[in-house]
Structure 1
Amino acid sequence: MIERGNPIPALGVKLVSKTGIEDISSDVLLGQGKVVLFTVPGAFTPTCHVNHLPGFVANAAKLRAAGVDRIVCAAVNDHHVMKAWAEASGALDDIVFLADGNAALAKALGLDRDFSASGMGIRYARTAMIIDNGVVEAVFVEDAPGVNASGAPAILMALEAA
């Protein structure tokens, strides 16, 4: 699993933002300035849609005030699903979405989990990271169901303590 001090790997992903969808390298998307990346098992899934994403939308201004340049949400979904989720959640003003449809980045980061028992296949573990100019400063992985260590309030606390 990726750790503090590790660089973000360079892999092709899809960026979903207010300006549309584009192919981009993960190291470019996550390698400029201070970035908060949070990863979810799936777009529109109950905990992700109701608990995880809304916390980052609600706290986007506070995260920016704490020095965050970009907030990125990643999931192992295709870019069409990520775009629909971004639009349905009203999050595109504050967050960009990373579609990792084949879980290549999830695997490279060591954050892939097998949710086959739930019919979801390989997905991201629920996590959040603070990244500074492409180098991981901190990784927060949930060790139980729910949103605690990887939620926006916990990330704000970590940023304020740094």
Structure 2
Amino acid sequence: MPAQVGDSLPNVDLYEDSPTNKVNLAQLAANKKIIIFAVPGAFTPGCSKTHLPGFVKRAEELKKQGISEIVCVSVNDPFVMAAWAKDQHTAGKVRLLADPSAAFTKALDLAVELNPLGGVRSKRYSMVVENGKIISLQIEPDGTGLSCSLAGAIKL
């Protein structure tokens, strides 16, 4: 069953910038309110033109509303995510974390098979997590569209 409001984040390590820099979202979310959103792939058109830029643009506003961190997750390697972060100018706004084996994505039961993108990827979603528990979750109905998971639709 896919993740639901009330569920705790899985205790899975993701990677930021390199395979040696592990980030555990369950630990990151302890005693904080964070936004996590996932995209099917770094550098893909909808992700690079709409989804990520929306959160980058609204980062300051969301942080003023009590959000400590904004995190983008994708089933990519950490080097690709680091290059995408640089390309999208996310520093200080949105952290880009790699889920190279889709362990986090599978633990949430939000994986989707997208063969044109290389196989298992994440469904597109956004969630608000407070102290490690999901308090708001928007999963795109088709898994990849751009509607309910966008920055403007986030439910704080």
**Band of TM-score, shorter chain:** over 0.9
Query: How far, CA to CA, are the matches of 1:152 and 1:63 in structure 2?
Result: 9
Instruction: Tell me the residue number matched to 2:135.
Output: 137
TM-score scaled by length of structure 1: 0.89
Q: After superposition, what is the alpha-carbon deviation per residue over 1:18-64, rounded to whole angstroms, capped at 9, x for unaligned?
A: xxx61122311333400000000000000000010000011011111
Instruction: Tell me the residue number matched to 1:107.
Output: 106
Instruction: Tell me the residue number matched to 2:126.
Output: 128
Q: After superposition, what is the alpha-carbon deviation per residue over 1:79-124, rounded to whole angstroms, capped at 9, x for unaligned?
A: 00000000011012201111100000000001111002x2421000
Contact 1:8 1:31 in 2 (8 A): no
Q: Indicate how the Cα distance of structure 1 residues 119 and 24 shifts in structure 2: closer, same or farther if over 3 A, else same.
A: closer
Query: How far, CA to CA, are the matches of 2:8 and 2:61 in structure 1?
Result: 26
Instruction: Tell me the residue number matched to 1:77.
Output: 76
Q: After superposition, what is the alpha-carbon deviation per residue over 1:110-143, rounded to whole angstroms, capped at 9, x for unaligned?
A: 1111002x24210000000000010000110111
Query: How far, CA to CA, are the matches of 1:95 and 1:31 in structure 2?
Result: 18
TM-align CA RMSD: 1.5
Contact 1:13 1:98 in 2 (8 A): yes
Instruction: Tell me the residue number matched to 2:88.
Output: 89
Counterpart secondary structure, 2:16:
strand
**Alignment: residue pair count:** 153
Deviating beyond 4 angstroms after TM superposition, the runs of 4 or more aligned structure 1 residues are none
Instruction: Tell me the residue number matched to 1:34.
Output: 33
Shift of 1:148: 1.3
Contact 1:31 1:131 in 2 (8 A): no
TM-score scaled by length of structure 2: 0.92
Query: How far, CA to CA, are the matches of 1:103 and 1:152 in structure 2?
Result: 23
Query: How far, CA to CA, are the matches of 1:77 and 1:29 in structure 2?
Result: 20
Structure 2 residue runs of 5 or longer lacking an equivalent are: none
Instruction: Tell me the residue number matched to 2:148.
Output: 149
Equivalent AA in structure 2 for residue 8 of structure 1: L
Counterpart secondary structure, 2:47:
helix
Equivalent AA in structure 2 for residue 50 of structure 1: K
Shift of 1:77: 0.3
Query: How far, CA to CA, are the matches of 1:112 and 1:3 in structure 2?
Result: 14
